[in-house]
Amino acid sequence: MNNFDFCVGTHILFGKGQVERLPEILSPFGKKVLLTYGGGSIKRMGLYDRVRELLADFEVWELNGIEPNPRIESVYAGEKLCRDNGIDVILAVGGGSVIDCSKAIAAASCSDEDAWELVKDPDKIEKALPLCTVLTLAATGSEMNTGSVITNLKTKEKLGFLNDAMLPKASILDPTYTLTVPADQTAAGAADILSHIMEVYFSRPYAPIPDGISESLMKVVFRYAPIAVREPDNYEAREQLMWASTLALNGLCSTGKGQAWPCHAIEHELSAWYDITHGTGLAILTPRWMRHVLNEGTVDQFVAYAVNVWGIPADADRFAVANRAIDRTEDFFRSIGIPMTLGELNIDDALFPEMAEHAVRFGGLEWSWVPLDKDAVVEILKQCL
Ligand code: NZQ
Ligand code: ZN
């Protein structure tokens, strides 16, 4: 195994009714709260009203309208609210976009640097305001990790960045709040969870502890995502997806493994240029990337995936077994309603060279399991058309 650090100090409060403990988790940080949320889903489900009631003894400011694929302008707006009002703690209520934007606000509010400079060079982040979250969408794992992804539409950049200071102090995970997530976002969230697991699972030789955990999590998503898409009110499916999303990207699955995140690097280009849903882009890319990297050096990991996750017997040629698993992966994404070509999203090949160059330059693709250069990325994107 590679050496690793594993220290995830987010207090998770999981299950029905945990939101009632909001005052208890916020109080240690102070009385002035910035409440952040998105385009209104928390109002429609009644969560906003309950949160405001629970915050009755706090002074509350609000930043609403945070976009999916959150933009740097929202970070600036939140930073201003924090500075002008001496905010003590940020409470993010929403999906990954709201949480990511709030992380960037938390960091920018404690720095003399411009917020976009911190996104580009997170080593400059020295501290951040404390952040607590109430999660409403199972997908990103942002509720228990140090990452954030911010988009700058002017420069056509969507950049992920990490810093320990941005780790949420506490996150409330009540699957009830995900019952209202529409089918397309449920499916995209499932694809995102799977991609977080696969980006690490498919790197370096088989590692029994993290890869065994990853296989269990993948089986959970393959089993419960179709149920949640079909039956949005199915609480059991929602709770399984919610906990899988958190564990998929809190560092547990990557202990001792190498990682390079090629599909994420390429997908962030698609989102930056075309503002598509992150998980949808990942679902389209993943099987095509798998076929591209399948070779003598990687085939055994694909066979392990085929046998341990899909139950495919290893009784044929290794490449045939691997390809059956890749086909099953693609069929799965299609079966939960994800449009599986870029053409269906009205994306053509016009910007592929530019996107590929940027993905290679900023995505660290030369260190991936199978190193990818610009031509390789263009080829993978063409397979997605
Ligand atoms: O804005 P509202 O009205 O809340 O609606 C949202 C949004 O339109 C809606 N939604 C959320 N919860 C809902 C709901 N609708 C009904 N009922 C609910 N309970 O869903 C839409 C998408 O929300 P968003 O937060 O954008 O989705 P997600 O959680 O998938 O986050 C995606 C963002 O996270 C980044 C992605 O790149 C993307 O920008 N990522 C963050 C990561 C991290 N911090 O570790 C890792 C990921 O790989 C990812 O890159
Ligand atoms: Zn992701």
Establish whether residue 38 lines the binding site of ligand 1, counting it when its CB lies within 6 angstroms of any ligand atom: yes
DSSP of 291-326 = HHH-STTTHHHHHHHHHHHH---S-S-HHHHHHHHH
pLDDT for 259 beyond 80:
no
Question: 23 C-alpha vs ligand 2 centroid, how far in Å?
Answer: 31
Which pLDDT tens digit goes with each residue over 132-148? 999 999 999 999 999 99
Distance (angstroms) between ligand 1 centre and the Cα of 137 equals 6
Q: In sequence order, which ranges of 3-95 are alpha helices (DSSP H)?
A: 22-26, 41-44, 47-54, 72-85
The pLDDT, as a whole number, for residue 257 is: 86
Give the pLDDT confidence score for residue 315 in this predicted structure.
Answer: 86
270 CA → ligand 2 middle, Å: 13
256 confidence band (pLDDT: 50, 70, 90): confident
Mean predicted confidence (pLDDT) in 63-81: 97
What is the predicted pLDDT for the residue at 277? Answer: 97
Class of domain 182-383 (CATH, top level): mainly alpha
> What is the second-level CATH architecture of the domain 11-177?
3-Layer(aba) Sandwich (3.40)
Give the CB-side neighbour count of residue 127, counting CA atoms within 13 A.
4
**Residue 212: C-alpha distances to residues 206, 218, 309 (Å):** 9, 10, 10
Task: Kindly state the helix (H) or strand (E) to which residue 378 belongs, with its residue range.
Answer: helix 374-383
Measured torsion, CA atoms of residues 113, 116, 118, 121, in degrees rounded to the nearest 10: -120
Q: Binning pLDDT at 50, 70 and 90, where does residue 341 land?
A: very high
Per-residue pLDDT band for 73 (boundaries 50, 70, 90) equals: very high
In the chain, CATH 3.40.50.1970 sits at 11-177
| Mean pLDDT lowest among 64-68, 118-122, 314-318 | 314-318
Distance CA 137, CA 186 (A): 8
CA 219 to centroid of chain Cα atoms: 18
Ligand with an atom nearest the CA of residue 195: 2
Report the nearest-CA residue for atom 20 of ligand 1.
Answer: 185
Distance 84 CA to ligand 2 centre (A): 33
Domain with CATH 1.20.1090.10 in the chain: 182-383
What mean pLDDT comes out for the span 66-93? Answer: 98
CB-based contact 98:37 (threshold 8 Å):
yes
Residue range 36-52: mean pLDDT, rounded: 98
Distance CA 211, CA 362 (A): 27
Relative to the alpha carbon of 69, which ligand is closest?
A: 1
d(CA 233, CA 246): 20
